[in-house]
Amino acid sequence: MRKKWQVQQPVTSLRKWQHSKYPSSITQPSPLVCRSYLDMAAACAVSAQETNADFLIQKTFTDGTKRYTISAQSGQDANANDIPTDLTCPGYKEIYSQFSSLLEMVVLSVATTLDATNFTIKDGYGQVVSSRKLMTDAVRLDHFHAYETPSQRRLMTAFSGTDTNSSADINFTFDLHEDNGMFIVFPTPAFYQVSDNGFNHKFESVLPSGINGLETGFFIQTHDGQLVEPILKPDYVTLMVGTEFNQWMLSSHHLPTVTHAMRMPKIDMMPTQ
């Protein structure tokens, strides 16, 4: 289990963040915790859907893909006891707390990196505030999403470098958009084939079809209008800037938001090794 990770040198990282057409990726400090959480959350979403649990938010998209969402407040003020999962998902709270803390570490590492540059932020009173304080004090929400393909019980949890000319050529599960909030942080998604023997569910970890099994269905629109399907590497956390950062913050540097969309990958999946 890794305890440390590295980001790029502060000045280089800030410069690339300003001008890059891609989101930023950071090596996970603890990939085992991340994968354990995705495994647990996927099983929890399936169980909650079958028992119609109140905490599960359900949505069906126009292409037939179903989404199951577990939502909770995160950050230093989070209280795992607020997540009503005990009856349906024993053990979920414990692994969720570990995972939430992991993402908190990633966010604060980015803030520390920004503070080591000439990047500055002013609050509503015109006072300079550190990036670390801003992100520490901010209200945060965790949204776990499980996506189920319309034809078979296969799940993608969460959210190839091939350029595509136009979004009109792709039938997205949900269309190009920008997320609210200041920052959006998520791990590389995991995929499962779910089988039911009448008593319990079996989850088989699988890879989607595509280039080297790295197709995740995640697309971004670059600032010059190109549509790109970036490679989301295993054991990485991806960070994107949301719309409210530039709306709410007066900063010395403009950090561009990421316009993105999702299309469920092909369902002819391959088992992992």
pLDDT in tens, 36-63: 999 999 999 989 998 899 889 999 988 8
Residue 4 inside a domain? The answer is no
Residue 3 inside a domain? The answer is no
Structural domain including 22 reads 10-271
Residue 120 inside a domain? The answer is yes
Confidence check: pLDDT of 151 > 80: no
Residue 245 inside a domain? The answer is yes
**In this structure, how many other beta carbons lie within 10 angstroms of the beta carbon of residue 37?**
23
Residue 2 inside a domain? The answer is no
> Facing residues of 195 across strands?
202
User: Which stretch of 139-143, 171-175, 203-207 has the lowest confidence by average pLDDT?
Assistant: 203-207
pLDDT 10s digits, 130-146: 988 888 887 788 889 99
Of the candidates 261, 179, 265, 181, the residue with the CA atom closest to the CA atom of residue 221? 261
Q: What's the CATH code of the domain at 198?
A: 2.60.120
Residue 138 inside a domain? The answer is yes
Token pair, residue 155, equals 């799940």
Collapse the DSSP code of 271 into the 3-class scheme (helix H, G, I; strand E, B; otherwise coil) and give the result.
strand
Residue 241 inside a domain? The answer is yes
Return the percentage of the chain with pLDDT > 90, whole number. Answer: 9
What are the b/e assignments for 74-92, b being 16+ CB within 10 Å?
bbeebebeebebeebbeeb
Asked if residue 163 lies in contact with residue 224, where contact means CB atoms within 8 angstroms, the answer is no
Our count of domains for the chain comes to 1
Residue 153 inside a domain? The answer is yes
The values of phi and psi at residue 48, to 5°, are -65, -35
Q: pLDDT band at 169, cuts 50/70/90?
A: low
The reported pLDDT for the residue numbered 38 is 92
